[in-house]
């Protein structure tokens, strides 16, 4: 016995960025917070990656969209997602506060590797703003991780049963994306404020110098920061536009939006790279630095699953390439992408298993580091 065709009142449910539309029998409810990463709408975004089908029509990959709940908006807006993002944002602030307290206490007790890297920062009270910037950086990385996880879950073939409805996951993806962008911005602004605070020049000169060092690529020319700071700046400057593009996808077109949205994973990679290069908490070899690598395994595994089991038939890798030159090129690129992700998974497993994570060797306890990391 076949299911009846959806009625005109059963409008198509909006598809999340990079995700496939829900089947007709999927539960659809008006949801609470969720996103981009939603910055993912990334870095870090969600929402439809195709134009909303007409009522009663099938989606682009042949599946009939789920019915729209009465009163549900046809298109999520930035304003509505900002209103819905406050619970997630409050949790992010609480976690940031907890991380700050942990960093502060470890500095005071001289048990943090930060004191080894930069002995002059043993004065926790004198550099509290720097440690607050670090705390926002860690919570931003955590939120970016969650946003990417949600985005990969929503963009691939979905399991038959989910603990919460797909629309709720989609909104959570969007709201976590918005909060990720806010956390990254707070991290950068506090770093700049710390530079101003310790600059003995005039106010105008101090602000100008801090702006160049914190926000202009190449403006910071001290130590490891010559590479790490521009990497972090690239993540910031890509995360915000890529995340907000979700809200104008109907203007730029779903195909263009999907292509750009896939670059969110690049933002996340840059964020992790920035952390491993510059984070004094993961400066040396050890379990904490290895744990950061370990957290990348779920993302790599979900990305591989997303490539091996794409939601769209057009993205599946055929057994053989087509006859045309363009088809052969696309086939080769898809195969290469899958093999590259397999290599990443293998490399991550090797790093975690061996503990060789690229960190520096811990110096003897009586050493005095002269590294300037300000």
What's the pLDDT tens digit per position in 261-278? Answer: 989 999 999 999 999 999
Given a cut of 60, whether residue 68 has pLDDT beyond it is no
What is the pLDDT averaged over residues 48-72? 42
Q: How confident is the model at residue 160 (pLDDT cuts 50, 70, 90)?
A: low
- Packed helices 287-294 and 264-278: angle between N→C axes, nearest 10 degrees: 170
Nearest to 171 by CA among 302, 64, 77: 77
d(CA 283, CA 281): 6
d(CA 141, CA 291): 13
CA-CA-CA-CA torsion sign (164, 167, 171, 177): positive
Given a cut of 50, whether residue 203 has pLDDT beyond it is yes
Q: How confident is the model at residue 43 (pLDDT cuts 50, 70, 90)?
A: very low
Q: How confident is the model at residue 25 (pLDDT cuts 50, 70, 90)?
A: very low
Tokens of 12: 């198509």
User: In this predicted structure, what is the pLDDT of residue 365?
Assistant: 63
Residues 6+ apart with CB under 8 A from 1: none
Q: How confident is the model at residue 159 (pLDDT cuts 50, 70, 90)?
A: low
Given a cut of 60, whether residue 8 has pLDDT beyond it is no
This prediction's pTM? 0.75
The structural domains of the chain, with segments of one domain joined by +, span: 27-49+75-283, 286-363
Residue 134 is inside which H or E element, if any? helix 128-155
On average, the pLDDT of the chain sits at 79
What's the pLDDT tens digit per position in 310-366? Answer: 777 766 776 667 677 777 787 888 888 889 999 999 999 999 999 888 888 877 664
């Amino acid at each position: 016995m076949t299911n009846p065709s959806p009625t005109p009142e059963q409008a198509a449910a909006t598809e999340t960025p990079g995700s496939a539309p829900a089947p007709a029998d999927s539960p659809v409810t008006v949801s609470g917070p969720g996103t981009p990463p939603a910055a993912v709408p990334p870095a870090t975004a969600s929402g439809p990656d195709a134009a909303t089908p007409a009522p009663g029509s099938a989606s682009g990959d042949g599946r009939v969209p789920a019915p729209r709940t009465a009163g549900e908006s046809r298109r999520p807006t930035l304003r509505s997602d900002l209103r819905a993002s406050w619970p997630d944002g409050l949790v992010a602030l609480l976690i940031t506060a907890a991380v700050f307290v942990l960093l502060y206490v470890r500095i005071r007790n001289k048990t943090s590797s930060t004191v080894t890297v930069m002995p002059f920062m043993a004065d926790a009270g004198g550099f509290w703003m720097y440690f607050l910037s670090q705390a926002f950086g860690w919570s931003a990385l955590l939120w970016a991780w969650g946003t990417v996880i949600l985005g990969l879950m929503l963009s691939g073939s979905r399991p038959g049963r989910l603990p919460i409805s797909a629309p709720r996951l989609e909104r959570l993806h969007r709201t976590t994306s918005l909060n990720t962008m806010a956390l990254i911005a707070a991290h950068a602004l506090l770093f700049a404020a710390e530079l101003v605070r310790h600059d003995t020049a005039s106010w105008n000169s101090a602000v100008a110098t801090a702006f160049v060092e914190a926000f202009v690529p190449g403006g910071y020319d001290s130590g490891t920061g010559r590479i790490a700071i521009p990497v972090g700046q690239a993540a910031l400057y890509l995360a915000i536009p890529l995340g907000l593009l979700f809200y104008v996808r109907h203007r730029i077109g779903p195909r263009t939006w999907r292509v750009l949205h896939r670059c969110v994973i690049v933002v996340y990679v840059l964020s992790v790279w920035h952390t491993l290069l510059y984070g004094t908490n993961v400066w040396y070899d050890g379990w904490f630095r290895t744990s950061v690598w370990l957290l990348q395994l779920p993302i790599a595994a979900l990305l591989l699953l997303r490539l091996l089991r794409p939601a769209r038939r057009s993205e599946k890798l055929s057994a053989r390439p087509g006859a045309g030159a363009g088809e052969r090129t696309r086939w080769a690129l898809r195969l290469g992408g899958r093999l590259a992700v397999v290599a990443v998974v293998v490399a991550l497993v090797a790093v975690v298993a061996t503990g060789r994570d690229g960190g520096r060797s811990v110096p003897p306890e009586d050493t005095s580091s002269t590294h300037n990391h300000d």
